[in-house]
Amino acid sequence: MRVLATAGHVDHGKSALVRALTGMEPDRYEEERRRGLTLDLGFVWTRLGGDDLAFVDVPGHERFVPTMLAGVGPVPAVLFVVAADQGWQPQSEEHLAILDALGVRHAVLAVTRSDLADPERVRADAVERLAATSLGKVPHVAVSAVTGAGLDALRTELARLAAALPPPDTEADVRLWLDRAFTVRGHGTVVTGTLGAGTLRVGDRLVSADGSAVVRVRGLQSLHEERTAVGAVARVAVNVHGEGDTGLGRGQVLLTPDRWLSTEAADVRVTGEPAADLPRCVTLHIGTAAVPVTVRPLGRDTARLSLRRRLPLRVGDRAVLREPGGTRTPCGVTVLDVRPPRLARRGAGRARAAELETITGRPDGAAELRRRKLVRRADLRAMGVPVPGEPVAGDWLADPAHWNALKDRLAGQVVEYARTHPLEPGLPTEAARRLLGLPDRALVDALAAALPGIHARQGRLHTADSLRPALPAPVRAAVDTLRRDLARTPFRAPEAGRLAELGLDRRALAAAAAAGALLRITDGIVLLPGADAAAAAELRALPQPFTLSEARRALDTTRRVAVPLLEFLDARGFTERLDAQHRRCRTGAGDES
């Protein structure tokens, strides 16, 4: 299927033309047919050149330009209509400006009412006007919906247009802008829209941009035919059911879950007039949505838009800015960034404007990664940007130059920490994350793993030297005294008073243990290195199993030391607990240290 929208001034015969082409009535309301004035969007279709061609018929009156925008927003091509007896009119001009702002590139011009006036002058004028826009030089046909003259030629040109349209991406994430929502007895909520990309299937789960609706697809129709799946491009009616389904309506959007970033701010490139000349408050039209925005000019043709409500935008999206009331010509915007940085510091706006000058609006994964330095793969995809490589950790992507700089910084921080904290057993991983300004500790782990001179152990990062740090002279002297005490009574760990007398606090003991000068059993309980194996050898000489009291006597120590020492031996596999009272030595564990 291919989908076109009509465009043109009120009363130039758009509805009559698609009625003649399709044999279907596009005006859904009796008032529209009575007044001969289209008030809302109409939908009709026919078969041309072996393919279905659907039309979104839009109103031409100036009061209904927002409705016209909702009709053409999701549609890739247009049937532009100018009446031979009236020629180019104000809404002809505004509709053309809207199409140009949206970057529409595919169109056929129909000069209607050719039975009432010579169409040549009007046709030449319209062709020239269209050629100066994104539409370029378009095929054109003079027709009469009354006499039927030119209809076959128009059908031929429409079939050619449909065949020339770029193929849609049926594997893309779904973003269905809603143009109608209503209730069908026995079925519930039905929404309609133009599916521009992706595929909808019965059973799919969809969400609204603000998360207020989470629905499942109960049924699908396309051109009044029941379907189990519909691929883009297509007009679809979707029977949905779920939380918030009754609140859906025109201007809202249903999305593939977890694939879109809804944003309240976007940096854009403006076409049509200088960014500085834009009103502060305008309406952003994209898809079928019309959202008030506040404009902050940044550069000559760039601006930041602050949206009244969140929208699922992607890099490269085209949209229209229009002042309510239509006193100014609508202008176009191309979305450059849907996750722009805050502009809080003096000069930030100028710096951002300079950065935006280099952004094209075409999704470029490598360029986006250079700007952001670090970004989650899922977020980059949700921005509409292709992923340029594999993650460095978890779902995190990193710009290669930034990643190498981070490795150099981390190595320097670990070395500096070892120099300035000689009694600490290495730089804590969390401290390293903060020092580098990283959002995830997994990134620190990945950086450390990529540095041959850095070792990660128990949540800390060490250099090869800091794994066995040299102790300051006062600490070394105190430890040597303590080692002489322990040589006489190897399992009588010094009391807190003795440690304080020697000036050995928790940090000093941890440094001595890291240097291999002491064996740390628990906080405040230290023995000589190898005391665990020696204790196990003593206990192995006891009748098995043995009690805590028997172990304490065999080791000539106190209960204060014996309890944590036995738990230490259990953890290292020298001994094992049998019940609340008894342990035994494990076979073959005597050489562990």
User: How far is CA 327 from each of CA 62, 322, 323, rounded to the nearest angstrom?
Assistant: 11, 9, 7
Each residue's pLDDT tens digit, 38-84? 445 778 889 887 788 988 877 655 555 677 677 676 788 999 999 99
- For residue 463, name the pLDDT band (cuts at 50, 70, 90): confident
Each residue's pLDDT tens digit, 15-35? 889 889 988 876 554 443 444
Q: Which range, of 148-162, 243-257, 325-339, 426-440, averages the lowest pLDDT?
A: 325-339
Do the bridges between strand 51-57 and strand 42-48 make them parallel or antiparallel, or are there none, so unpaired? antiparallel
> 501 Cβ partners below 8 Å, 6+ apart?
none
- For residue 311, name the pLDDT band (cuts at 50, 70, 90): very high
Say whether pLDDT at 578 is over 90. Answer: yes
For residue 337, the tally of other CB atoms under 10 A from its CB is: 24
Percentage of residues in the chain having pLDDT higher than 90: 60
Give me the mean pLDDT over the 239-251 stretch: 91
Each residue's pLDDT tens digit, 439-453? 999 999 999 999 988
pLDDT at res. 35: 41
pLDDT at res. 40: 56
Each residue's pLDDT tens digit, 279-291? 999 999 998 899 9
User: How far is CA 3 from each of CA 88, 95, 329, 383, 528, rounded to the nearest angstrom?
Assistant: 25, 18, 26, 26, 83
The DSSP annotation for 82-110 comes to EETTT-S-HHHHHHHHHHHHHT--EEEEE
Read off the pTM. 0.77
pLDDT at res. 588: 62
Do the bridges between strand 2-7 and strand 77-83 make them parallel or antiparallel, or are there none, so unpaired? parallel
SS3 content of the chain, % helix, strand, coil (to 5): 35, 30, 40
